[in-house]
Amino acid sequence: MASVAASVEAIVQAAGPHVPVLLARVEERLVELAGGHGPVLAEHAGATIAAGGKRLRPLLVLLAAGPPGAEAPAIVPAAAAVELVHSATLVHDDVLDSASLRRGLPTVWATGGRALAVATGDLLFSRAFSELAATGSVASVRALSRASSALAEGELLQRQDAWNAAVAVDRYLYRCELKTARLFEASCELGALAAGRQNGTVARLGAFGRGVGLAFQLLDDVLDVSGSASNTGKHRGTDLLDGTVTLPLILARERDAELAGMDLRREIVTPEQAEALCERIEATGALVDAQARALAIVAEAKVQLNGLALEGGQRTALELVADSVVDRQS
Amino acid sequence: MASVAASVEAIVQAAGPHVPVLLARVEERLVELAGGHGPVLAEHAGATIAAGGKRLRPLLVLLAAGPPGAEAPAIVPAAAAVELVHSATLVHDDVLDSASLRRGLPTVWATGGRALAVATGDLLFSRAFSELAATGSVASVRALSRASSALAEGELLQRQDAWNAAVAVDRYLYRCELKTARLFEASCELGALAAGRQNGTVARLGAFGRGVGLAFQLLDDVLDVSGSASNTGKHRGTDLLDGTVTLPLILARERDAELAGMDLRREIVTPEQAEALCERIEATGALVDAQARALAIVAEAKVQLNGLALEGGQRTALELVADSVVDRQS
């Protein structure tokens, strides 16, 4: 994510030089964890990890832990574990979507087939729990497994609601919570737990993470309608072509009666039709409103940090991440 | 499994009346755990659980725990967790195999499709770790996640070696270890851990479970070649049609040069051809030898129990389970 990358300097400036050091150790650990289960899995799990991504969840683990957490032995394993669960979900999603490319690289599904992709995802899941259990924190394992259950439920909800343009805003938000916000929440909880923080602080940092995750998903959905392919790496309206009904479309339907009467599955079949629908959604002002909603959620999330005893620039760093999530073009 | 069911009385006689009581509580807990994540998942996860199975892994958890374990609050969650991981694997296997039926009932893949089946499996995995983490035993979570990683690796190994009749016995045994034995090992470890046993005892009971699991898989593979559809619920030679090369075929190829020269993928396509190949394998004496190997593994597994301080009829009950695994027709 270009904008998060651009703000990494500012985040490090605020949080301290231990953050890039730990992030590098997380990368090393991810490579180790992807290996060690036979050459085939090592190749595909390794490729999945190496394909990278924003590493936003590990970053949240480190920032929620704060400077004292940097010393905690559980911090790197916790950061690696959340990224493994995230990666596992992506590999399985690609099976469900029969997706050939992710982040511009061939998916495990494309290179190795369905069986390999399902097994690779299962392995990444298992390794995540193994890594986290090794830290000795039962509370962390529980937090991660709650998030991982939510991910599975969210993925299903999305498929269940596919092509149903009449889905309500609340149900859409609940889906975002399951699909995205809960793992962000767990990331902050895991960081706080690794740093040995009190229950109240763990819960508040978790609530912060949940808001950031929710806003992140909302903005992803806005970008799918507004973003240009050169920024996001995919064409506008891919969600629409997949039948995934997101907030921009839900809001636009309330404002444009003809659009509300449209049958997505029949009328939005080509990339050109999706592009045209994106413009039509944008014309209703739905994108601006959806983005405003994401900004409001971030503002609310930041309130969770009030009154917490956070070290040095920790709060600033967390707020910068929250802002970067809604202030991005890809 | 008819024969295990038939010997349940003898097992209860030896182990004590707490076993059926706890098994009933495990069933209740499995139903609870399958629910609670939205109606769609509840339906399919619930159907998977309700479809039943031998519950051999939960039984091993209970028996390894012994009578004192019956009081331990971790025992039922541990037994439920191993069954959830087992069920998750079955649901994902059915996706990989595009299997319509399991235990005579439609699979999740068949009734709900690929997406639902992948998500259902993911949920069952997540719930297993969540349930186990709630017991507070980090050692248990580690044991289960090791087994779950092994399952993914074993599943892949099987697909990687598909149609390769020249696979070596050692590699076949390693695959069985990953696919089956490790979860049996974890089941015994979890039971022993729940009962608060010492590390040495946990390891020995784990090694016992591993042997029982290995023998179980060997016998499954023998039954695929020898068993009649009326006992096993499937036609002879389904593994052969799937390209899964198992011990009977490996041994038979060493004894029958013409069979060794056969190209499975081209020559064994119809159920009738598979049936004929089964008879040919049987004629080499390979089935008798494979079964003898399973019996030897069970005998070796039982040696692990020597010198352990096991309560009452606990040892007898464990030995009965070990015997039932190799003395069955389905």
How many C-beta atoms surround the C-beta of residue B71 within 10 A?
A: 11
With an 8 Å Cβ cutoff, is B42 touching chain A? no
Please give the Cα distance from A203 to B35 (Å, whole number). Answer: 26
More confident residue, A111 or B1: A111
Cα–Cα distances in Å, from A14 out to A320, A321, A322? 9, 11, 14
Residues in chain A within 8 Å Cβ distance of B136 = 138
With an 8 Å Cβ cutoff, is B73 touching chain A? no
Question: What mean pLDDT, rounded, does chain A reach?
Answer: 89
Three-state SS at A17: coil
Residues in chain A within 8 Å Cβ distance of B132 = 141
Asked whether the beta carbons of A150 and A180 are under 8 A apart, the reply is: no
Among B41, B50, B48, B56, CA closest to B89: B48
With an 8 Å Cβ cutoff, is B109 touching chain A? no
A92, A98, A145: best to mutate for the B interface, most B CBs within 10 A: A145
A82, A108, A125: best to mutate for the B interface, most B CBs within 10 A: A125
Among B246, B254, B241, B242, CA closest to B223: B246
More confident residue, B33 or B44: B33
Question: What mean pLDDT, rounded, does chain B reach?
Answer: 89
Measured between CA atoms, how close is B118 to chain A, in angstroms? 7
Beta-carbon-side half-sphere exposure of residue B135 (alpha carbons within 13 Å): 28
Measured between CA atoms, how close is B188 to chain A, in angstroms? 18
Whole-complex ipTM? 0.83
Choose the closest CB to A153 out of B41, B133, B145.
B41
pLDDT at site A71: 81
Q: What is the pTM of this model?
A: 0.88
Q: What is the pLDDT of residues A158-184, one digit of tens each?
A: 888 888 988 999 999 999 999 999 999
Whether residue B116 and residue A152 make contact (CB cut-off 8 A), yes or no, is no
- Residues 6 or more apart whose Cβ sits within 8 Å of residue B282: B225, B226, B248
Asked whether the beta carbons of B244 and B158 are under 8 A apart, the reply is: yes
Choose the closest CB to B130 out of A119, A121, A142.
A142
Whether residue A125 and residue B125 make contact (CB cut-off 8 A), yes or no, is yes
Which two tokens mark B325?
């695994």
Choose the closest CB to B129 out of A92, A119, A129.
A129
Asked whether the beta carbons of A226 and A266 are under 8 A apart, the reply is: no
Q: Say yes or no to pLDDT of A55 above 70.
A: yes
Residues in chain B within 8 Å Cβ distance of A243 = none
Choose the closest CB to A126 out of B119, B145, B156.
B145
Query: What's the whole-number mean pLDDT along residues A116-138?
Result: 89
In total, how many domains does chain A have? 1
Q: Is B55 within a domain?
A: yes
- Residues 6 or more apart whose Cβ sits within 8 Å of residue B209: B60, B64, B181, B184, B185, B186, B187, B188, B189, B301
Whether residue A119 and residue B148 make contact (CB cut-off 8 A), yes or no, is no
pLDDT at site A2: 42
Please give the Cα distance from A211 to A304 (Å, whole number). Answer: 9
Which two tokens mark A93?
């999603």
Residues in chain B within 8 Å Cβ distance of A138 = 133-134, 136-138, 141
H or E element that contains A106: strand A105-106
Query: What's the whole-number mean pLDDT along residues B204-218?
Result: 98
Please give the Cα distance from A181 to A173 (Å, whole number). Answer: 10
The size of the A-B interface in CB pairs under 8 A is 151
Q: Say yes or no to pLDDT of A281 above 80.
A: yes
With an 8 Å Cβ cutoff, is A141 touching chain B? yes
Q: Which residue type sits at A65?
A: A
Whether residue A41 and residue B114 make contact (CB cut-off 8 A), yes or no, is no
Confidence band of B33 (pLDDT split at 50, 70, 90): confident
pLDDT at site A51: 76
Residue A91's closest chain B neighbor by CA?
Answer: B118
Residue B94's closest chain A neighbor by CA?
Answer: A115
Which two tokens mark A189?
């909880």
Residues belonging to chain B: 330
Q: Say yes or no to pLDDT of B48 above 60.
A: yes
Residue in the structure block whose two tokens are 């832990």: A65
Q: What is the pLDDT of residues A210-245, one digit of tens each?
A: 999 999 999 999 999 997 666 656 678 988 998 999
Beta-carbon-side half-sphere exposure of residue A230 (alpha carbons within 13 Å): 0
Among B223, B212, B232, CA closest to B325: B212
Q: What is the pLDDT of residues B246-297, one digit of tens each?
A: 999 999 999 999 999 999 899 999 999 999 999 999 999 999 999 999 999 9
Pairing of strands B105-106, B101-102: antiparallel
Residue B148's closest chain A neighbor by CA?
Answer: A126
Domain that holds residue A205: 2-326
Query: What's the whole-number mean pLDDT along residues A70-99?
Result: 88
Secondary structure of chain B in HEC code, one letter for each residue: CHHHHHHHHHHHHHHCCHHHHHHHHHHHHHHHHHCCCCHHHHHHHHHHHHCCCCCHHHHHHHHHHHHHHCCCCCHHHHHHHHHHHHHHHHHHHHHHHCCCEECCEECHHHHHCHHHHHHHHHHHHHHHHHHHHCCCCHHHHHHHHHHHHHHHHHHHHHHHCCCCCCCCHHHHHHHHHHHHHHHHHHHHHHHHHHCCCCHHHHHHHHHHHHHHHHHHHHHHHHHHHHCCHHHHCCCCCHHHHHCCCCHHHHHHHHHCHHHHCCCHHHHCCCHHHHHHHHHHHHHCCHHHHHHHHHHHHHHHHHHCCCCCCCCCCHHHHHHHHHHHHHCCCC
A48, A116, A129: best to mutate for the B interface, most B CBs within 10 A: A129
Whether residue B142 and residue A122 make contact (CB cut-off 8 A), yes or no, is no
Choose the closest CB to A127 out of B118, B123, B149.
B149
Q: What is the pLDDT of residues A290-321, one digit of tens each?
A: 999 999 999 999 999 998 989 889 999 999 99
pLDDT at site B228: 67
pLDDT at site A111: 75
pLDDT at site A229: 60
With an 8 Å Cβ cutoff, is A73 touching chain B? no
Q: Is B330 within a domain?
A: no
Whether residue A156 and residue B121 make contact (CB cut-off 8 A), yes or no, is no
- Residues 6 or more apart whose Cβ sits within 8 Å of residue B217: B176, B179, B180, B181
Q: What is the pLDDT of residues B123-146, one digit of tens each?
A: 899 989 989 988 888 899 999 999
Three-state SS at A324: helix
* Angle, CA B141 vertex, CA B138 and CA B143 arms, to 5°: 110
Whether residue B148 and residue A156 make contact (CB cut-off 8 A), yes or no, is no
Measure the N-to-C terminal CA separation of chain B; round to a whole number of Å: 6
Residues in chain A within 8 Å Cβ distance of B92 = 118-119, 122
Cα Rg for chain B, rounded, in angstroms? 19
Query: What's the whole-number mean pLDDT along residues A192-197?
Result: 94
Measured between CA atoms, how close is B158 to chain A, in angstroms? 10
Q: Say yes or no to pLDDT of B2 above 60.
A: no
pLDDT at site B3: 47
Q: What is the pLDDT of residues B59-117, one digit of tens each?
A: 999 999 998 777 889 999 999 999 999 999 988 887 777 777 777 777 777 777 777 88
A101 φ, ψ (degrees, to nearest 5): -125, 145
pLDDT at site B230: 60
User: Residue A142 is part of a domain; what is its CATH number?
Assistant: 1.10.600.10
Three-state SS at A101: strand
With an 8 Å Cβ cutoff, is B145 touching chain A? yes
Whether residue B138 and residue A142 make contact (CB cut-off 8 A), yes or no, is no
Cα–Cα distances in Å, from B158 out to B117, B255, B303? 20, 23, 30
Cα Rg for chain A, rounded, in angstroms? 19
Confidence band of B47 (pLDDT split at 50, 70, 90): confident
Measured between CA atoms, how close is B128 to chain A, in angstroms? 8
Asked whether the beta carbons of A58 and A80 are under 8 A apart, the reply is: yes
pLDDT at site A203: 97
With an 8 Å Cβ cutoff, is A156 touching chain B? yes
Residue in the structure block whose two tokens are 């040095």: A312
pLDDT at site A1: 41
pLDDT at site A94: 80
Residues in chain A within 8 Å Cβ distance of B80 = none
With an 8 Å Cβ cutoff, is B151 touching chain A? yes
Residues in chain A within 8 Å Cβ distance of B193 = none
H or E element that contains A124: helix A114-133
- Residues 6 or more apart whose Cβ sits within 8 Å of residue B16: B67, B70, B312, B313
Among A75, A39, A17, CA closest to A196: A75
A284 φ, ψ (degrees, to nearest 5): -80, -10
Residues in chain B within 8 Å Cβ distance of A160 = 40
With an 8 Å Cβ cutoff, is A125 touching chain B? yes
Asked whether the beta carbons of A288 and A281 are under 8 A apart, the reply is: no
Q: Which of A173-187, A316-330, B42-56 has the highest mean pLDDT?
A: A173-187
Q: Say yes or no to pLDDT of B12 above 50.
A: yes
